[in-house]
Amino acid sequence: MIFGFSRFAARLIDALTTARNGMLSASAKLGAAAQAIATPEDAAGAQGTQSSTSAPRIGYLPLPGDIEGMTSMMEAEMAFKANAAVLKTAADMITALYKAID
């Protein structure tokens, strides 16, 4: 019984570690995407003007790169949700294990 428990606990720890690393990766991706959206490539140009070579703009956001940035942000959100589900499942399994031991 103890050997099976330790193997189960090791797998739970592996799941928690993997989910944590996935959340850190998603967080880094989200930060990079937000930074790319916040600082458009032509930010060094004149403020408030649009050069003839820059991308079309909607408000303050240039189009092609920002669409990719928003897509990256959505991917990061989905990765965060998936890893949160793994953490919740692991927590539920730990709770069930404690109840079984009592």
pLDDT tens for 6-40 read: 788 888 889 999 999 999 999 998 888 888 888 86
How far CA 15 is from CA of 54, 88, 94, in Å, comes to: 46, 11, 12
If you average pLDDT over residues 61-83, what whole number do you get?
A: 80
Torsion of CA 34, 35, 38, 40, to 10 degrees: -120
- CA angle, residues 83, 88, 93, in degrees to nearest 5: 125
Give pTM, 2 decimals: 0.65
62 bridge partner residues: 57
Residue 62 in 3-state DSSP? strand
97 pLDDT above the threshold of 50: yes
The pairing of strands 61-62 and 57-58 is antiparallel
